[in-house]
């Protein structure tokens, strides 16, 4: 007797079942993967902001010059400029704007010593905003104590203040990063997304 040499293939039913199973796996895996990407982006922006604020405070104390944090933005990004004012005044150096196009100088004034710029492209789905409406446009680190202060009038009077940022992702993750009046950072997570931080009260 001659052996049956016909090859057994995949039936249409088996193929359809395989496609359905693959689609179900992707349906559950892709959102989880996207949430993981967002968590990493939120943490990255948060860590960069914390490091930049700590650097500014340290440089303020070591160089005995007021350090400034000043937000900016343009159509493609939000940004935060960190600089020293070497004229020792309590106002940001004139002509400093991190929202300028990349090929233009960020600070145009000789009194400004740029320490860094934190840039958050809008295309990442992560946005950074001030921690509350009505927060001051800029704050500075006191060159003697390292604490945060804000101007209260045109005569140079100041008061201690806290300052912070809300770092939000497009999929619901959010970090609140605050700098207390002593100029030291603390962070917490808002909502149920697990970002490895304590829950905000």
Q: Are strands 112-121 and 126-130 parallel, antiparallel or unpaired?
A: unpaired
Task: Compute the distance between CA of residue 182 and CA of residue 185 in angstroms, rounded to an integer.
Answer: 9
Q: Which of 152, 150, 172, 174 is nearest to 163 (CA)?
A: 150
Quote the pLDDT of residue 186: 92
Give the CATH fold of the 12-190 domain: minor pseudopilin epsh fold (3.55.40)
The pTM of this model reads 0.77
Q: What tens digit of pLDDT does each residue of 40-80 get? A: 999 999 999 999 999 999 999 999 988 888 888 888 888 88
Is the pLDDT at 115 greater than 60, yes or no? yes
Q: What tens digit of pLDDT does each residue of 139-168 get? A: 889 988 999 988 887 777 788 989 999 999
Quote the pLDDT of residue 105: 66
Is the pLDDT at 176 greater than 90, yes or no? yes
């Amino acid at each position: 007797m001659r052996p049956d040499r016909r090859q057994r293939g995949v039936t249409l039913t088996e193929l359809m079942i395989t496609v359905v199973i693959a689609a179900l796996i992707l349906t559950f895996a892709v959102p989880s993967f996207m949430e993981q990407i967002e968590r990493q982006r939120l943490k990255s922006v948060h860590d960069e902001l914390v490091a930049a604020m700590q650097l500014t405070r340290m440089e303020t104390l070591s160089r005995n010059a007021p350090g400034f944090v000043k937000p900016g933005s343009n159509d493609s990004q939000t940004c935060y400029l960190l600089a020293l004012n070497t004229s020792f005044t309590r106002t940001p150096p004139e002509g400093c704007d991190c929202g300028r196009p990349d090929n233009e100088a960020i600070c145009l004034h000789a009194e400004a010593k740029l320490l860094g710029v934190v840039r958050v492209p809008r295309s990442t789905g992560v946005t950074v905003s001030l921690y509350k409406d009505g927060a001051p446009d800029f704050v500075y680190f006191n060159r003697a104590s390292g604490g945060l202060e804000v101007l209260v009038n045109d005569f140079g009077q100041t008061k201690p203040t806290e300052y912070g940022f809300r770092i939000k992702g497009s999929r619901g993750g959010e970090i609140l990063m605050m700098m207390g009046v002593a100029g030291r950072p603390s962070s917490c997570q808002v909502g149920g997304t697990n970002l490895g931080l304590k829950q905000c009260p």
